[in-house]
Every structure is written in structure tokens, then in C-alpha cells.
Amino acid sequence: MKTSRFTDSQIIAILKQAEAGSPVPELCREHGISNARFYKWRAKFGGMDASLMARMKELEEENRRLKKMYAEERLKAEIVAEALAKKW
């Protein structure tokens, strides 16, 4: 997975600048991001503080790990079912 150039605290700082009244195009030029990136951040992280953002990332990681575990177990179950279905 590609990592962001910006840390969580930097993203929150940029969003807070916009909330304070700075024009979005100017912020985007200043920080070297596109308007689309800014609005994606705002949709995902708007209204969060650093602790909520960290908790959300922990939950996303846990969710990714659980999905992987489920997929592996499902594959094992299919292999067992296929082996049992064969006629000896």
C-alpha cells in the first residue's frame, strides 16, 4: 500500500486552515496537493482530531487483517469440502 506524503497531523492542520477561512485553491497550491485530494481528505477526515484519526487507522488495519484471515479460512473450507465430495 502506498503511503501518504503527509502525516495525519499535517492533514488535520491543512483541513483546519480551510475551516479557518483560507481559500481552498490557495491551500492546495501552497501544500502541493490537488483540489480532489483536499476534498477527499475533507470527506474522510473532516471534523476529526488526531486521536480519532489514529483510532480510525487502527480499525482499518484490524479490518484488513480480519478480511485476510476470513479469506484464508474460507479457502481451507472449500478445499476440505471438495476433498470430501470426491467419490472414493
* pTM for the structure as a whole: 0.62
Length of the chain: 88
- Per DSSP, 1 falls in state -
- Per DSSP, 6 falls in state S
Q: Dig out the grid coordinates for 16 from the structure.
A: 483546519
Q: Where are the domains of the chain?
A: 1-48, 59-88
pLDDT of 4 reads 73
Residues 6+ positions from 54 with CB-CB distance below 8 Å: 8
What is the chain's pLDDT, residue by residue, as a tens digit (88 residues)?
566 788 888 999 999 999 999 999 999 999 999 999 999 999 988 888 888 888 988 999 999 999 999 999 999 999 999 988 887 6
pLDDT of 2 reads 65
pLDDT of 69 reads 98
